[in-house]
Amino acid sequence: MVQIGTREGAPEVIGTELLAVGVYRGESPPEPLAGAAAPAVESGDFSGKEGETVLLYGNGGLSAARLLLLGLGERGSFTLEKLRRAAATTAKKARDTGLREAVLVPPVSEGADVRSAAQAAAEGAALGLYRFTRYKTRGSGGSEGQEDGAADRELERFDLASADGNSAEALAQGAATGAATGAAALLARDLANEPASTATPEYLAETARGISARYGMETTILDRAAIEQEGLRGLATVGRSSSQEPRFIVLEHRGGGDEAPVVLVGKAITFDSGGISIKPAAGMENMKFDMGGGAAVLGTMEAVGALGLPLNVVALVPATENLPAGDAYKPGDVLTLHSGTSVEVISTDAEGRLILADALSYARRYSPAAVVDCATLTGACIVALGRHASGLMGNDEDLVAEVQAAGETAGERAWPLPLFEEYTEQIKGDTADIKNAGGRNAGALTAGAFLKEFADYPWAHLDVAGTAFGDTSPNAYTPKGASGNPARLLVEFLQARAQQNGEVGE
């Protein structure tokens, strides 16, 4: 994995294989880089348009072997998200050129927050360089459109250089944070990209044990018998027909004394065939990603440990396959879930809400300050928001706003959707208290309304069906396949909470 750090010294004296410098539209890089860039800028070949790059050689005045001009677009509309993408573009360009290391001078305007900029740049590089190559024997993992061969070499170092020495410490802190938040998303991607026959519920449990061993967290893993014993009937029932045993994974990070914890819940259906209400064959391979929520929660815990966040954080990951078999649960069955609520099964393909309901009522024992769940829950959410935002619902306006803000900062957008009483009406049961599907209309919201029945604390729900994975690459730092979303949103949410606590405590 690429090492991300910082380099000191003025850009022109940094010895590196590639020095990248951002240029706003219609501008030139600062002196003395301006001289080297002049022919490209003056000829009009390079205009500073967002995403544009030009690689220059033979720059007598510079210690760097190559100078990469990076278009940043209009100065006035530059954002951290654009910086994340620019850093990804730089890192991939260096790698695909066959280089071992590169240095980026992150554009930080005067008075701007150097630390946040460095974090965004480090994240962009780490995320952009990601490839899932475990099963490639023929070397071709290059970025899209890349030829075989050189593309398979990995970049070893990516450094940020500060233009003014004063910011060196903020730059280093930001780079370290960005490396940690990036790593959270990369772990989530790796878990989700892994085929379902490997990434089983026990595989996720093993990953959780690894995290807890690294950072001294508490782990509790319930197996099939313990899940039954605990009354997690939704999880036990969905998992009944699979020869892979279900797991209920609990990870507890204690960094906040005796404060009420934040509980994170992640749906981990390691493969969703739909069960007896079986899905069409086309695209079913994508249902290995149906544990993307759980993967993001585990990734988040990795970052929580690495950053040593001064908060109590509990992760709950109900994990199982959803398969048809002779002993599978059936449409029409009635289950009494962990909370005591009875549910009529309309569709065995609405399995996510059953296992999440159990986790949400299990969370009550912590008297949590807040609970955030994330799940690839409904196709309807993809219809509503596409891949551009996660659906965000909840029972507490402030918490919903907090989650939305964290998503905006992280570049993992989430957009609020309503949970009107009418959606709850749609899932009122005939045979049981409620039913697990509310008809075609407002599918993301009836799913949210279902979960709301089990949350008796401040709660927010992220439907990440459209954002956790996809078969195209949505931006320079997100390849096709698993995105890791919403791991960085969750880390940002927790960091912001930790910081708030700190300020209140001062």
Give the Å distances, CA to CA, from 219 to 26, 62, 74, 254.
55, 53, 48, 12
Grouping H, G, I as helix, E, B as strand and the rest as coil, residue 306 is helix
Q: Is 349 in the site for Mn ion (CB under 5 A)?
A: yes
Cα torsion angle, 90, 93, 95, 98, sign: negative
- Which residues inside 263-302 make contact with Mn ion, applying CB under 5 A? 272
CB of 277 to ligand BES, least distance (A): 7
**Closest CB to ligand BES among residues 35, 379:** 379
Would you give the distance in Å from CA 457 to the centre of its chain?
24
Distance of closest approach, residue 51 Cβ to Mn ion, in angstroms: 37
In the complex with ligand BES, which residue's Cβ is closer, 394 or 438?
438
Contact at 8 Å (CB) between 343 and 354? yes
Residue 32 binds which of ligand BES, Zn ion, Mn ion, none (CB < 5-8 A, kind-dependent)? none
Q: Does 347 bind ligand BES (CB under 6 A)?
A: yes
Binding partner of residue 402 among Mn ion, ligand BES, Zn ion, none, CB under 5 to 8 Å per kind? none
CA distance 394 to 220: 27
**Helices 487-505 & 292-307, crossing angle to 10 degrees?**
40
Site string for Zn ion, 283-322 (x = CB under 5 A): -------x--------------------------------
- Contact call for residue 321 and Mn ion (CB under 5 A): no
- Cβ-in-10-Å burial (0-12, 13-18, 19+) of 325 comes to exposed
In which element (H, E) is residue 314 found? strand 312-322
Contact between 463 and Mn ion per CB under 5 A: no
By the 8 A CB rule, do 45 and 54 touch?
yes
- Binding of Mn ion by 252 (CB under 5 A): no
Active site residue 93: no
Among 159, 190, 194, 272, contact with ligand BES (rule: CB under 6 A): 272
- Binders of ligand BES among 314-333, rule CB under 6 A? none
Q: For ligand BES, which stretch binds (CB under 6 A), given 47-55, 76-84, 374-382, 488-496?
A: 374-382
CA distance 436 to 419: 16
Q: Which residues of 350-381 are buried (b: 16+ CB within 10 A; e: fewer)?
A: bbbbbbbbbbbbbbbebebbbbbbbbbbbebb
We find the least distance from the C-beta atom of residue 428 to ligand BES, in angstroms, to be 15
Provide CB contacts within 8 A for 400, sequence distance 6+: 392, 393, 394, 416, 460
Q: Which of residues 399-458 bind ligand BES (CB under 6 A)?
A: 437, 443
Question: What part of residues 122-161 is at the interface with ligand BES (CB under 6 A)?
Answer: none
Smallest gap from Cβ 377 to ligand BES, in A, equals 6
- Which partner, ligand BES, Zn ion, Mn ion, none, binds residue 21 by CB below 5 to 8 Å per kind? none
Are 166 and 108 in contact, with CB atoms under 8 Å apart?
Answer: no
Residues forming beta bridges with residue 4, ordered by sequence position = 158
Secondary element (H or E) of residue 160: strand 157-161
The minimum distance between CB 351 and Zn ion, in angstroms, equals: 6
- How is residue 162 written in tokens? 């500060």
Question: Which residue is catalytic, options 85, 189, 353, 497?
Answer: 353
Choose between 272 and 358: whose C-beta lies nearer to Mn ion. Answer: 272
Q: Is there binding between residue 352 and ligand BES (CB under 6 A)?
A: yes
Q: Does 36 bind ligand BES (CB under 6 A)?
A: no
**Smaller CB separation from ligand BES, 227 or 350:** 350
Q: Does 309 bind ligand BES (CB under 6 A)?
A: no
CA atoms of 344 and 430, how far apart (whole Å)? 8
Q: Is 351 in the site for ligand BES (CB under 6 A)?
A: yes
Q: Least CB distance from residue 216 to ligand BES, whole Å?
A: 34
Q: Which of 23, 69, 465, 491 binds ligand BES (CB under 6 A)?
A: 465
Choose the catalytic residue: 100, 153, 279, 480. Answer: 279
Per-residue buried b or exposed e for 430-463, using 16+ beta carbons within 10 Å of the residue's own CB: eebbbbbbbeeebbbbbbbbbbbbbbebbbbbbb
Known catalytic membership, residue 435: no
Who contacts 224 (Cβ-Cβ below 8 Å, separation ≥6)? 236, 239, 245, 246
Q: 200 or 322: whose CB is closer to Mn ion? A: 322
Q: Which residues, 251 to 280, sit near Zn ion by CB under 5 A?
A: 269, 272
Please state, in angstroms and rounded to a whole number, the distance separating the CA atoms of residues 398 and 217. Answer: 29
SS3 of 425-446: HHCECCCCCEECCCCCCCHHHH
Residues lying near ligand BES in the complex (CB under 6 A): 272, 290, 347, 349-352, 376-380, 437, 443, 465
In the complex, the residues that contact Zn ion under the rule CB under 5 A are: 269, 272, 290, 352
Report the catalytic residues. 279, 353
Residues near Mn ion, by CB under 5 A: 272, 349
